Amino acid sequence: MRGFLGFIVNDILSQPAIIAGLMAMIGLIALRKPLRSIVTGTLKTIVGFLILGVGAEAIVQSLNPLGEILNRGFGIQGLIPNNEAIVGVAVKTLGQQTALIMSLGFLFNLLFARLTPFKYVFLTGHHTFFMACLLSAVLTAADIEGTAAILIGSVLLGLLMVGIPALAQPFMRKITGDNNLAIGHFGTFGYISAALIGKWFGNPEKSTEELKVPQGLSFLRDTTVSTALTMVILYVLVALMAGPDVTAKAAGDQNYLMFAVMQGLMFAVGLYVILAGVRMMLAEIVPAFQGIAEKIVPDAKPALDCPITFNYAPTAVIVGFISSFAGGLVGLAVLAAIGAPLIIPGLVPHFFTGATAGVFGNATGGRRGAVLGAFVNGLLISFLPALLLPVLGDIGFENTTFGDTDFSVVGIIIGYLAQWLQ
């Protein structure tokens, strides 16, 4: 029995594509669709998620060498936020507790979605696992362990899985133009901040997607072309500034400038693949969720990973990434000036959360909202991880930490609240 439960937790619930496929299948069965439609909808949902993952992996592989070049070329030492890395450290001692919190948290998500006005089913499996790990670490650091930690962590996780998408939904409606989708990603505090900054300081009438381009440069309206050119220029500039000796260590046998060009092009490939996967997945999972909404959780909405927003404002994606990274550099300078732990801007979190913050900021404040909102996101994912370190206990002293805003906000609140109650 324990082996079967381990298979469910470790091999099924840890796969977001499988979770999304199962949800689509349940919805289609609830709608009493014919077998061919159930099989097609389930498989296309899974394949769409996997395509999205392939694109994300291509972007990660493209960004990692750039991060290494920046660190080596400019001699910056500090902590690099990376969710996968810090979770890898934490699960060595908290793996079983984390798995139980994740599994029970998903059940509480469905229960709260059924019983409360927050009708969101959180389908981003890897972020569910990361948040379960954070809750496990913070509760353990506060000397709450065993059954109490599992129960408290599961309830908190279930609440976060319905509550955080609900907070972002007013802005998601502006992005998508309807109420069918929610965002299920634990960087939402940054996205809401970006949307509010855009609302306060921007103009939604001047969207990033309506930038006027001279006739001779009309080819830049193609998202793939503009992304490729932007990233190639960025990579080449960084390679030249860092110097051939530093860049050659990442490039291996390849010419260092050609390596920079190819990495920039691979970034564009990854983004193109992400957008294709999102289109396929949404075409299947949104209709399937009608069945869940009708039969299981009335008016249920799927809360999906942050790249689902990229199709709605592709230009804002690149604007947001660059602006968030600029905010990270400013945050690094401020942390160095005040003698706080240095949080080195990680290109992966700055791309995914910065790009999404750019889309949110653009929805409420147009071009200015995209730039300023994503810049604020970059500051947040610099300062908040530094504040989180003291409440992480023994795992707070590795060379990495949690990257996205919600992990830091939740960890800081729960950690200090638990210490105060004791």
Total domains, the chain: 1
Backbone angles phi, psi at 180, to 5 degrees: -90, -20
The string of pLDDT tens digits covering residues 315-363 is 898 899 889 989 999 998 999 888 877 787 877 788 889 999 999 999 9
pLDDT at position 246: 76
DSSP 6-66: HHIIIIITT-HHHHHHHHHHHHHHHTT--HHHHHHHHHHHHHHHHHHHHHHHHHHHHHHHH
**Assigned token pair, 307:** 């790249």
Range of the domain at 331: 4-421
**Assigned token pair, 266:** 């691979």
pLDDT at 162 over 90: yes
Percent of the chain with pLDDT over 70: 85
The string of pLDDT tens digits covering residues 255-302 is 888 888 888 888 888 878 877 877 787 777 767 766 776 677 888 888
> Which H, E and C letters describe 161-184, residue by residue?
HHHHHHHHHHHHHHHHCCCCCEEC
Q: What is the mean pLDDT of residues 68-94?
A: 69
- Cα angle for residues 148, 158, 404 (degrees, 5° grid): 100
pLDDT at position 11: 66
Compute CA distances 332 → 161, 293, 307, 327, 402, whole Å: 31, 45, 26, 9, 16
Q: Give the N- to C-terminal CA distance of the chain in Å, as an integer.
A: 37
**Assigned token pair, 183:** 């965002």
Helices 256-295 and 244-251: crossing angle in degrees, nearest 10, is 50
pLDDT at 397 over 50: no
On average, the pLDDT of the chain sits at: 82
pLDDT at 411 over 70: yes
Answer for the pair 56, 274: CB distance below 8 angstroms, yes or no: yes
Position 168 confidence tier, pLDDT thresholds 50, 70, 90: very high
Most confident by average pLDDT, 73-87, 131-145, 157-171, 301-315: 157-171
For residue 401, what are the β-bridge partners?
Answer: 81
